[in-house]
Amino acid sequence: MFIGMGNISCDQLSARVEALERSNRKLRLLSILSLGAPLLAVVGWQAKPSVPNLLQVRKLEVVDDRGVPMVALGVDPQTLGGNITLRDRGGEKRGWWTANAGGAALGMTGDTGSGAGGMSLGMSTAADEAQLSIAASSGSGISAGIAKDHPKIDLWNSKGKSLFSAPWN
């Protein structure tokens, strides 16, 4: 018999020890959680979010609030090279840049709003040539280029008649 415990049976003593052990397990769990939660919060607060190093898609479109594609990046189905297309608010193609195994091309077009078209500008490169062309909706234009180390400049009017050509033949 223990001092201050009166007459206690072994079964009662076992029950009290089991109750103390359960209480001890609960207190241990609560102390781990109370210390662990702030530690995890500090570690999580200081950790930088993971950012993927690579995004791969077959085609990417940036659309406006109406769903009209304004910018499209993808593979040109004809040349199988890269392609960037820019469109105006109405969805009309205004600029493009294509690349393939042999070279690249850049084009831009404007519109007068009258439906008659506008000015256009085009540049292209390949292994042995480069070309710059500017044309009006009326048909007149200028072209400058180099092909196989031979430069050439052409100017023509709206009827397609040559106004100037160099080198002179």
Classify residue 125: in a domain, yes or no.
yes
Q: Do 147 and 105 belong to one domain? A: yes
Q: Do 64 and 144 belong to one domain? A: yes
Q: Do 72 and 123 belong to one domain? A: yes
pLDDT tens digits, one per residue of 30-86: 888 777 777 777 776 666 667 778 888 889 999 999 999 999 999 887 777 899 999
pLDDT tens digits, one per residue of 75-133: 887 777 899 999 998 888 899 999 988 899 999 998 765 556 688 999 999 999 999 99
Q: Do 113 and 162 belong to one domain? A: yes
Against a cut of 0.85, is the pTM above it? no
Kindly report the backbone phi and psi dihedral angles of residue 37, in degrees, each rounded to the nearest multiple of 5, phi listed first.
-60, -50
Classify residue 3: in a domain, yes or no.
no
Q: Do 101 and 150 belong to one domain? A: yes
Q: Do 91 and 120 belong to one domain? A: yes
Instruction: Give the torsion through C-alpha atoms of 148, 150, 156, 162, to 10 deg.
Output: -110
Q: How many domains does the chain have?
A: 2
Q: 77 is in which domain, residue-wise? A: 60-166
| Residue 62: partners with Cβ closer than 8 Å, 6 or more residues away | 69, 70, 71, 72
